[in-house]
Amino acid sequence: MLDNLRPALVVTYREVRDQLRDWRIVLPVVVLTLFFPFLMNFTASQLVGFVQRYGANLLADRMIPFLLMVVGFFPITVSLVIALESFAGESERHSIEPLLSSPLTDWQLYLGKLIASIVPPLTASYLGITVYLVGIYRNLGWAVPPVLLTQVIILTAVHALVMVSGAVVISTQTTSVRAANLLASFIVIPVALLIQGESVLMFWGRYELLWWAIGGQIVIAGLLIRTGIAHFNREELLGREIDTLNFRWAWHVFISAFVGQAHSIGEWYVKEVGQTLRRLTIPIVLMILLLSIGMWIGANQATRFGLPAEVLNMDKLKEVDPTLIKGMEALGFYSISGMSTIWLHNLRAVALATLLGVFSFGVLGVIILMAPLTLMGFIAEAASSVGISPLIFLIAFIMPHGLLELPAIILSGAAILRVGATLVTPAQGHTIGEDWLIALADWTKIMLALVIPLFMGAAALEVFITPRTAMMILGF
Amino acid sequence: MSIIVADMIVTEDLSKQFDNFLAVDGVTLRVEAGEVLALLGPNGAGKTTTVRILTSVLLPTRGWARVAGYDVVKQAPRVRASVGVLTEQHGLYGRMHADEYLDFFGQLYHLDTATRQKQIDRLLDEFGLADDRKRRIGEYSKGMRQKLALARALFHNPPVLLLDEPTSAMDPESARLVRDSIRDLRSAHRAIVICTHNLAEAEELADQIAIIRHGRIIAKGSPEGLKHSLLGPPIYEIRFGSLLNDHKYKLPPEVTVTDQGTDWLRYQVEHPEAVNPLILRGLLDQDLPVVSLQEVPRSLEQVYLQAISTPTSKEALHAG
């Protein structure tokens, strides 16, 4: 293992030495390591003094750890620049070809550059944190709690890892630094949002939630590294440029994958959609599993945060509204407009899940689709706590339309997972763009052939059949 | 590297398609150990793509290739370890020193410290860079960079050398040094492929010439063989001591007179070793004062231009 790792470390050593000879990298790192923590110290002292004058001690308590995170974060932003340049810069200067012609394996070259992009900025970051903590201790007597220090140290490292692994993915897919820099917004914007979220947690004082942020980012970094290695391609590094969008080519790839070998709609349904379903077997199984987990989470939460008994008191419901049927008509039940409202609502949810899934390897998309199941589990469990059998509840309120809606959710989730996971597990011999377009074609097939009709049927059942079934079973 | 393979480079129907562009189209080559092959062709002909396939950097879309006995697709790391490449753009690291640079690549090729140090000293000395070993490569002239890139390609003593434009951007003295080095590098255990636009260099160094155009090999053979096949039998020139005027001379029937002046004539003959003595004897018998008889030198440039300007059967088919 160490023998295999050695060539990667040779690359790392060369790159780090090269960085340390470039004043354009060294200068900002030094400034951010030494000057910036002093500035933050001064800012913290001033702010603490100011807010304490008005008795807002809480703000001062939260400000110091927050600035600790900021001091750690700033130097690692340099790692983004280094990582973006790592492959694209070498391609541009033509120094990549001798490396590609050497016996280095793909992962050795990738890992060597990944580590080289992280180590100097992260070292600078930790030095900056040290300078800040020493200063703050001397000025304000504030000593960092060990758990918080551990969190900030790990958080800074995972910030660097997420940014660098994302930037290296971009860098391997471009052949010019300009193109890589233009694509950097795909990293900068999510990371900026992430930092804002973490800042909220720190000002809120919910430091224990930072562990979740750390865990989530480790998963994302892992997926990004997997994506980078999976798409590392010597040919593309030497020749491809993705700063122009070739719509004609993209359309050709998409439509070829969408139509496949079919000559008629019937053949398309049987052959192409069938093949796509077979390709989606694993995502479908995964979705069933995830939705079951979602339901279990919901049920579990109901035991902790149960609904008040009167909310689910059926006897009271029967007494309250003798004109229940009329009320339901007003809500849109028993009408075509109600049906289309539900149908469109479900399609909007799937569209949102797809959009989020594309940018999160499918994860956020699946979470959105898990939400109704979690709610269902919650209500079923809550109902059982007031004496209504969860099974009766599910049969009464869910099963009629759920028979169609659940398969639609499972299928759409599977298709979203495929689109998202394509970036992590590309097919042999395809470019990243081709893979993604083929996955998108699969998604479109599943949506048009199955999900949209299933949701339409489910919406019809939900407005015309489910209410009647529910009332019949519950004895209204 | 102790691999001894008779055919160091063998390719069969090697092809490379980029989207809609066929960069290399059915290239079949064979380079034995001890041979130098010059790959000639206009820009964009497919020379660099062929070299990249032979270094396992690009994958062929059709056909196969073996380099130093290893398959370029299935045994890519072994191929790369067996090949020394001088790329068209040498792509050095400007902030490194020459010795650091060579040492870095030596480590990538798994050479031990002592071997690396020995090779650094030897190669820098051989290429006249020893005095500049501690200067930043960014400060080097074009020629010095080219020499350093060549030193990198030779560093691990590979059995196969692929040199893309080895003397481009060099002054005549440096170019001569590099050409001499290449000649010295020729050994019973090594095959060398040179991609070049310098036809004199190709003629001087190569045992075999392959001319490539639109990704296809359109002519292949030894320099002499190519001259014969593309320009016809050798041409000889006879110079006379007096004006020929209307003197009727007789030549053997297998001789074709290609040109003549007042006191000279040129002819083409298939078997000069048999026919030239007859010609000479005949002319002397006819009392014609022959001053000299010599072969008219034909350059590789003529061969190249002839090959490039002749449409291949495939192209003729498309045109037709």
pLDDT value of residue A142:
84
Indicate if the pLDDT at residue B36 is higher than 80.
yes
Window from A53-67, A119-133, B229-243 with minimum mean pLDDT = A53-67
Backbone angles phi, psi at A92, to 5 degrees: -65, -35
- Enumerate the residues of chain B whose CB falls inside 8 A of the CB of residue A90: 91
| A186 in Cβ contact with A170 (< 8 Å) | yes
Best interface-test mutation with A: which of B93, B111, B164, B168 has the largest number of A CBs within 10 A? B93
Say whether residue B95 is in contact with chain A using an 8 A CB cutoff. Answer: yes
Residue A315 banded pLDDT, cuts 50, 70, 90:
low
- Which tokens is B129 given? 């860079």
pLDDT value of residue B25:
92
Residue B122 banded pLDDT, cuts 50, 70, 90:
very high
* CB-CB neighbours of A230 under 10 Å: 18
| A454 in Cβ contact with A385 (< 8 Å) | no
pLDDT value of residue B302:
82
Three-class DSSP labels, chain A = CHHHHHHHHHHHHHHHHHHHCCHHHHHHHHHHHHHHHHHHHHHHHHHHHHHHHCCCHHHHHHHHHHHHHHHHHHHHHHHHHHHHHHHHHHHHHCCHHHHHCCCCCHHHHHHHHHHHHHHHHHHHHHHHHHHHHHHHHHHHCCCCCHHHHHHHHHHHHHHHHHHHHHHHHHHHCCCCHHHHHHHCHHHHHHHHHHHHHHHHHHHHCCHHHHHHHHHHHHHHHHHHHHHHHHHCCHHHHHHCCCCCCCHHHHHHHHHHHHHCCCCCHHHHHHHHHHHHHHHCHHHHHHHHHHHHHHHHHHHHHHHHCCCCHHHHCHHHHHHHCCCHHHHHHHCCCCCHHHHHHHHHHHHHHHHHHHHHHHCCCCHHHHHHHHHHHHHHHHHHHHHHHCCCCHHHHHHHHHHHHHHHHHHHHHHHHHHHHHHHHHCCCCCCCCCHHHHHHHHHHHHHHHHHHHHHHHHHHHHHHHHHCHHHHHHHHHCC
Residue B1 banded pLDDT, cuts 50, 70, 90:
very low
CA angle centred on A74, ends A69 and A80, rounded to 5°: 125
Best interface-test mutation with B: which of A102, A106, A109, A431 has the largest number of B CBs within 10 A? A102
Percentage of the residues of chain B whose pLDDT score is greater than 70: 94
User: What's the start-to-end Cα distance of chain B, in Å?
Assistant: 51
Residue holding tokens 């992280």?
Answer: A118
pLDDT value of residue A426:
67
Nearest to B77 among A93, A97, A105 (CB): A105
pLDDT value of residue B301:
82
Say whether residue A102 is in contact with chain B using an 8 A CB cutoff. Answer: yes
- Do residues A231 and A263 share a domain? no
> Residues A336-349: what's their mean pLDDT?
90
The count of domains in chain A is: 2
pLDDT value of residue B317:
55
User: Which residues have CB under 8 Å from A471's CB, separation 6+?
Assistant: A324
Prediction pTM value: 0.74
pLDDT value of residue A319:
59
What does the domain layout of chain B look like in residue ranges? 7-228, 235-295
Backbone angles phi, psi at B52, to 5 degrees: -65, -35
* CB-CB neighbours of B294 under 10 Å: 9
- Do residues A302 and A209 share a domain? no
- Do residues A37 and A184 share a domain? yes
Say whether residue A93 is in contact with chain B using an 8 A CB cutoff. Answer: yes
Say whether residue B156 is in contact with chain A using an 8 A CB cutoff. Answer: no
Indicate if the pLDDT at residue A398 is higher than 50.
yes
Residue A324 banded pLDDT, cuts 50, 70, 90:
low
Best interface-test mutation with A: which of B61, B97, B108, B152 has the largest number of A CBs within 10 A? B108
Say whether residue B249 is in contact with chain A using an 8 A CB cutoff. Answer: no
- Gap from A182 CA to chain B (nearest CA, Å): 24
Q: How far apart are CA B248 and CA B264, in angstroms?
A: 13
- Which tokens is A347 given? 């399609």
Q: How far apart are CA B136 and CA B197, in angstroms?
A: 30
- Do residues A197 and A269 share a domain? no
Contact A18 B83 (CB under 8 A): no
Nearest to B91 among A10, A93, A104 (CB): A93
- Structure ipTM: 0.81
- Enumerate the residues of chain A whose CB falls inside 8 A of the CB of residue B159: none
Indicate if the pLDDT at residue B267 is higher than 70.
yes
* CB-CB neighbours of A55 under 10 Å: 8
- Do residues A14 and A38 share a domain? yes
B169 secondary structure, DSSP code: T
Closest-CA residue of B relative to A239 is B18
* Burial class for B74, CB neighbours closer than 10 Å (0-12, 13-18, 19+): exposed
pLDDT value of residue A323:
61
In the beta sheet, which residues pair with residue B260? B265
- Enumerate the residues of chain A whose CB falls inside 8 A of the CB of residue B93: 14, 18, 95
Indicate if the pLDDT at residue B253 is higher than 90.
no
> Residues A418-442: what's their mean pLDDT?
81
Say whether residue B3 is in contact with chain A using an 8 A CB cutoff. Answer: no
- Do residues A313 and A215 share a domain? no
Contact B18 A22 (CB under 8 A): no
Q: Hey, which of A422-426, B19-23, B115-119, B226-230 has the most confident mean pLDDT?
A: B115-119
pLDDT value of residue A184:
82
In the beta sheet, which residues pair with residue A407? none
> Residues A284-304: what's their mean pLDDT?
90
Contact A104 B108 (CB under 8 A): yes
Say whether residue A256 is in contact with chain B using an 8 A CB cutoff. Answer: no
Window from A11-15, A183-187, A331-335 with minimum mean pLDDT = A331-335
Q: How far apart are CA A220 and CA A359, in angstroms?
A: 11
From A178, A209, A239, give the residue that closes a domain: A239
Contact A249 B19 (CB under 8 A): yes
Domain range for A137 is 2-239
CA atoms within 13 A on the CB side of A349: 21
| B205 in Cβ contact with B35 (< 8 Å) | no
From A186, A220, A239, give the residue that closes a domain: A239
Contact B105 A101 (CB under 8 A): no
From A198, A217, A239, give the residue that closes a domain: A239
pLDDT value of residue B5:
62
Say whether residue B24 is in contact with chain A using an 8 A CB cutoff. Answer: no
Say whether residue B134 is in contact with chain A using an 8 A CB cutoff. Answer: no
Contact A97 B87 (CB under 8 A): yes
Percentage of the residues of chain A whose pLDDT score is greater than 90: 27
- Do residues A275 and A398 share a domain? yes
In the three-class reduction of DSSP (H, G, I as helix; E, B as strand; rest coil), residue B138 is classed as helix
- Enumerate the residues of chain A whose CB falls inside 8 A of the CB of residue B59: 235
Determine the distance from the C-alpha atom of residue B301 to the mean position of all C-alpha atoms in its chain, rounded to a whole number.
13
pLDDT in tens, A204-231: 888 888 898 899 889 888 888 888 887 7
pLDDT in tens, A349-394: 999 999 988 878 888 899 899 998 898 888 888 878 777 787 887 8
Indicate if the pLDDT at residue B99 is higher than 90.
yes
* Burial class for A8, CB neighbours closer than 10 Å (0-12, 13-18, 19+): buried
Q: Is A234 or B28 the better-scoring residue by pLDDT?
A: B28
Q: How far apart are CA A176 and CA B79, in angstroms?
A: 28
pLDDT in tens, A65-77: 888 888 889 888 8
Q: How far apart are CA A426 and CA A440, in angstroms?
A: 13
pLDDT in tens, A119-166: 988 999 999 999 999 988 888 888 888 999 999 999 999 999 988 888
In the beta sheet, which residues pair with residue B12? B64
Range B7-228 has CATH code 3.40.50.300: yes
User: Which residues have CB under 8 Å from A293's CB, separation 6+?
Assistant: A370
pLDDT value of residue B312:
64
pLDDT in tens, B152-185: 999 999 999 999 888 887 788 888 888 888 888 8
- Enumerate the residues of chain B whose CB falls inside 8 A of the CB of residue A105: 77
pLDDT value of residue A330:
66
Q: How far apart are CA A283 and CA A266, in angstroms?
A: 25
pLDDT value of residue A11:
94
pLDDT value of residue B224:
84
CA angle centred on B92, ends B90 and B95, rounded to 5°: 160
Please state, rounded to an integer, the average pLDDT across all residues of chain A: 85
Indicate if the pLDDT at residue A116 is higher than 60.
yes
Q: How far apart are CA B84 and CA B156, in angstroms?
A: 8
Determine the distance from the C-alpha atom of residue A427 to the mean position of all C-alpha atoms in its chain, rounded to a whole number.
22
Q: How far apart are CA B170 and CA B144, in angstroms?
A: 8
Closest-CA residue of B relative to A18 is B95
> Residues A86-95: what's their mean pLDDT?
83
> Residues A268-286: what's their mean pLDDT?
92
- Do residues A192 and A287 share a domain? no
pLDDT value of residue B320:
46
CA angle centred on A316, ends A341 and A382, rounded to 5°: 65
- Do residues A251 and A211 share a domain? no
Say whether residue B108 is in contact with chain A using an 8 A CB cutoff. Answer: yes
- Do residues A296 and A347 share a domain? yes
User: Which residues have CB under 8 Å from B231's CB, separation 6+?
Assistant: B298, B302, B303, B306
- Which tokens is A403 given? 């028979």
- Do residues A208 and A346 share a domain? no
Q: Quick one: CA torsion of B255, B256, B259, B263, rounded to 10 degrees?
A: 20
Residue A273 banded pLDDT, cuts 50, 70, 90:
very high
Indicate if the pLDDT at residue B103 is higher than 90.
yes
- Do residues A226 and A254 share a domain? no
Query: How far from B222 is each of A116, B38, B200, B302, CA to CA, in Å?
Result: 49, 10, 14, 15
